[in-house]
Amino acid sequence: MTASQLSREQIAERLDAAANLLEAQGADRFRIRAYRMGAETVRGLPQDPAKILERDGLQGLEALPNIGERLARAIDEMVTTGRWSQLDRMRGEAAPGHLFQSIPGVGAHTARAIRNTLHLDTLEALEIAAHDGRLETVPGIGPRRAASIRASLAAMLARRRRRGPADHQEPPVALLLEIDETYRREAQANRLRRIAPRRFNPEGEAWLPVMHLDRDGWSFSVFFSNTALAHDLHRTTDWVVMYFARPGGPEHQRTVVTETHGPLKGRRVVRGREADCERHYSAAG
């Protein structure tokens, strides 16, 4: 990919914008402060972050004051693509289909199928799905094509990734289901801030509840799904999309839905972790 021409000031402005949105959407004050301190660090750099990445890689950014792995990856995404998916989500502007089309061999139809089947909107989350077998559940993607996409993603994300997909860590399903329950309860009670997504929202209504919270060492950002499929199936208040990370760590994503078939029918299930959910419910009796 060709590096963008974003300056240090433009990157700092985006970090400040994220902090302001997090504050408006009720996030933890320490999380807000981390973004503002990161913005200050970027503004004070003697050179643009793109030059640091070119010379020292991701570790060069992580070595800076107030820039941990999570902000380093965010800055790298801005330098590489000119956009920042996390900020787009908070603004209600996310369009992951365009991001997936940046993968060699993935056109608009396949990008849409990936988004609608897996409910993912970052390259990192798609890479995990490519390794754990979920990518092959997408219509039109068999083992050979999945292997090709996996190889392309590995090349695209080589600079960003310090740990391989095998080292990917997630919260236990019990915590994910607890966050899901909290979000849906607070949304139903109208106690969450709402944003007006640009996609599938011609009237510009602020209908999408947003929740940011920290629990058990994880930071969460939670939204109802705003995909075409969720709207078509009338599941926009059922499918819950969670983004989570350890402090300073990379962000990952899961979707929680009400299962419509099989032994877990009627229960809330974390897509891609159905076996864990079955064990969880069995243990709970």
DSSP string, 189-203: TT-SEEE--STT-TT
CA distances from 274 to 173, 200, 208, 242, 259 (A): 9, 29, 26, 16, 10
Residue 107 included in any domain: yes
Q: Which CATH number belongs to the domain containing residue 158 in this structure?
A: 1.10.150.20
273 within 8 A of 257, measured Cβ to Cβ: no
Residue 245 included in any domain: yes
Whole-angstrom distance, CA of residue 68 vs CA of residue 34 = 9
Residue 90 included in any domain: no
Q: What is the extent of the structural domain holding 174?
A: 169-284
Residue 285 pLDDT level (bands cut at 50, 70, 90): confident
Residue 89 included in any domain: no
Same domain, 206 and 145: no
Q: Among 51, 20, 45, which residue's Cα sits nearest to residue 193?
A: 20
Query: Over pLDDT 70: what percentage of the chain?
Result: 92
pLDDT in tens, 146-201: 999 988 888 777 655 443 344 468 999 999 999 999 999 999 999 999 999 887 88
Same domain, 182 and 117: no
Question: Residue 264: is its pLDDT beyond 90?
Answer: yes
Whole-angstrom distance, CA of residue 22 vs CA of residue 221 = 10
Q: How many residues make up the chain in this entry? A: 285
